[in-house]
A and B are shown apart, each in its own frame.
Chain A
């Protein structure tokens, strides 16, 4: 068969697929030359070829829609739920049984790169004992669905994209302790609307427990109170049909998520009450039993504080657990200044010095020069969110302030200095409220520290 016969059909024209391939440079040399010669002489095929290019232009000109606020809020909710569920599991100190993740070995056979990746995944997939006390890993725990790539370059597409391999392990059974269920993964099946419920999600990671280094993505370090679910997003109006059914699915799924979250919370409470009862019965001699307060106090503490001591580096220094998280990249930068209670005086002095150097005004002068302001001095390196300012007892703006890490948490450090004095009042306020969604309990995240320190 000649190239001409292959390219030009019996109707005397080039097939549109052939033209599309030609436009994309997918034809071999002889076929491409034939197609090009034909297009040069055939007006119809040239018009089709041009129209293909215009389809591309039409697609490129399709305006992008910014993420709607309700979708963004929904994502924040989901991340908050994930963090809360992980925190619940971390505080129980248990991890349920893990199943070996499924590997699409058919892809491994076809792709050497994927084979390497799959082999690495298999090597890591060591099933764990049914119930194992978890030493609080720092890396976030496992994806419910879909399973993201274990590393960044391989696997995700195939892991999710391919149908489960015939020899793939079955999906992990969902139970009350399974984060994927707590997070609202509906049972798989048509209409559930949950990506990854086809069973390809690895159960290995789904049973991991968030540990010392994991905090709420928007600052919630403790279990948030139960909240009613957000109303489902309005039914889509842009695409006809099907929207209400999907919205109902979502509403059910979100409702289920909260029910499961509540069940998990109840479980934690029961465990805590049980621990109190047990420990209380052993301390009937009237001695103070500090230990039996731990299970109750844990939910209101950060996960770092509640984490087992061995997971902390730096001799158990508060906050060291996050800095020495085992999964943290060795070169993980810490861009925020790290304050601790021990070096508070030194760091506050340095902050005030920077303020003085920037403004040329001695500590206290900036604040007194504009007492009506709610913001710190104009050279203060950070603008305070209103929720942070509101938590300071001071009516005047701080002399200096900055966003920092304090005892492992992101917080605003506010310093109030008076002229001529060698001490300054310091207020450390959790920055969680700055990222909290409107109306949530995270809006008031609390004063972490209020003290007076000596300054230079």
Chain B
């Protein structure tokens, strides 16, 4: 049966929900999570590449958010705040995971990437898994930037707020991440072009060549 509570909160904004939660409303935080759960889950899963770890990180992050809601001051969107907590939990877990031996990628990873055109669901699932595996080879910071900007469609400045880094750093991380992924999707250069919308312009063409802690050109 549909929940009347959902309809009761239908007109309530995220910030108001968080305020209600902080003031003792028993259901406001649950409604907030219900609204954004899919996107938060998507970010966690893509950032960590592992369902179980994503579930753990997301769970811990949301418990933290539940308890820290009273300290939210409204200087950013609630979704940005939530994503920041989730991404940080994921990055923290990824960093600690990095000290453990990583599962090696298959040698034929690039060969296993199928052509997206006309693919069946099984192939699409394989593409998804393989892409997650390829993402897992990236440093966590680059991966998080790519997840937010390229996969989740966040504007660069919003991703910068989520990760609390300068815009140029986000761009640099995205550029580095794409360059690292490129050998893994080599087949794209062999004629199997990916259909889809045109690549979005980043908008900001100001040179940020210098001054990014993980940016710059490596040659």
Contacts and interface: CB of A to CB of B under 8 A. Distances in A.
B71 A150 contact: yes
Contacts of B73: 151-153
A323 interface: yes
Contact of A205 (B67, B141, B215): B67
A241 B50 CA distance: 10
B198 to A, nearest CB: 8
Contact of B92 (A59, A152, A195, A322): A195
A436 B64 CA distance: 20
A28 B55 contact: no
B56 to A, nearest CB: 5
B19 A328 contact: yes
Interface string A261-283: 00000000000000000000000
Nearest to B72: A152
Nearest to B151: A59
Interface in B44-99: 45-46, 49-76, 80-81, 84-85, 87-93, 96, 99
B207 interface: yes
Interface residues on B, range: 35 or more
Contacts of B89: 145-146, 160, 195-196
B38 interface: yes
B158 interface: no
A27 B207 contact: yes
A52 B165 contact: no
A140 B207 contact: no
Given A20-B176, A138-B70, A152-B80, A238 B217 contact: no
Contact of A195 (B9, B60, B185, B205): B60
Given A51-B188, A190-B100, A329-B74, A221 B22 contact: no
A21 B174 CA distance: 9
A141 interface: yes
Contacts of B9: 335
A403 B219 contact: no
A54 B194 contact: yes
Contacts of A431: 4-5, 26-27
Nearest to A124: B71
B42 A65 contact: yes
Interface string A419-456: 00000000000011011000000000000000000000
B76 A152 contact: yes
Interface in A10-51: 15-21, 23-29, 31-32, 47-48, 50-51
A56 B149 CA distance: 9
Contacts of B194: 54, 57-58, 61
B116 A61 contact: yes
B91 A161 contact: yes
Contacts of B153: 60
The secondary-structure label for the interface of chain A is: loop
Given A148-B65, A385-B3, A160 B129 contact: no
B182 to A, nearest CB: 6
B8 A382 contact: yes
A74 interface: yes
Contacts of A365: none
Contacts of B5: 385, 403, 410, 431, 434-435
A126 interface: no
A26 B92 contact: no
Contacts, number: 421
B175 A435 contact: no
Interface in B179-214: 179, 181-182, 185, 188-189, 193-194, 196-197, 199-200, 202, 204-209
Interface residues on A, range: 35 or more
A385 B96 CA distance: 44
A91 B19 CA distance: 24
Contacts of B131: 58-59, 62
Contacts of B207: 25-29, 31-32
User: Which one of A72, A161, A246, A321 has the greatest number of beta carbons of chain B within 10 Å?
Assistant: A161
B77 to A, nearest CB: 9
Interface stretch (A212-220, A293-301, A356-364): A212-220
B26 A221 contact: yes
Contact of B136 (A18, A66, A239, A243): A239
Contacts of B75: 151-153
A55 B181 contact: yes
A192 B53 CA distance: 11
Contacts of B176: 17, 20
A156 interface: yes
A21 B189 CA distance: 19
A64 B92 contact: no
A405 B64 CA distance: 26
Given A61-B196, A146-B88, A71 B55 contact: yes
Contacts of B24: 138, 212-215, 304, 321-323, 325, 328, 408
A198 interface: yes
Interface stretch (A75-83, A94-102, A339-347): A75-83
B128 A158 contact: no
Contact of A239 (B49, B141, B206): B49
Given A17-B219, A142-B68, A154-B164, 5 more contacts: A26-B168, A51-B185, A157-B84, A215-B25, A332-B22
18 contacts: A18-B219, A25-B171, A59-B150, A68-B41, A75-B59, A78-B60, A79-B62, A145-B89, A148-B65, A152-B81, A161-B91, A213-B22, A233-B52, A238-B51, A323-B23, A329-B22, A333-B16, A383-B2
5 interchain residue pairs of minimum CB distance: A139-B70, A322-B24, A143-B64, A157-B164, A328-B23
